[in-house]
Amino acid sequence: MVKPAFPPPSPDDSPQRPGTAASVLRAPAASPEEAAGHQWLDERIREQYQDAASEALPERLVALIRRLCDQRR
């Protein structure tokens, strides 16, 4: 059995806690370049998702993908 790379969210995980999707969405970018990178990434994710489905991309998913990309830098 393959173990998932990320643990499931804890039951007490609320959008108000630091590091959650809502707090990442509210966090200001450190620089104009970072803000532009986030905007570009958001647009590419939304384009790809819209090609695959007709519903809107959840903001929490955008925030999670952005955090994962930022961790790789």
Residue-wise pLDDT tens for the chain (73 aa)? 455 555 555 555 444 455 545 445 546 667 888 888 888 888 888 887 766 666 667 889 888 988 988 887 6
Both tokens of 48, joined, read 């790809």
Is the separation of the CB atoms in 41 and 63 below 8 Å?
no
The DSSP secondary-structure symbol of 72 reads: T
pTM of the model: 0.35
Q: Tell me: the pLDDT tens digits for 35-53?
A: 888 888 888 888 877 666 6
Q: Would you say residue 8 lies in a domain? A: no
List the domain range (segments joined by +) for residue 51. Answer: 29-71
Q: Would you say residue 16 lies in a domain? A: no
Give the number of domains in the chain: 1
Q: Would you say residue 13 lies in a domain? A: no
Phi-psi region of 20 (alpha: psi -120 to 50; beta: other; left: phi over 0): beta
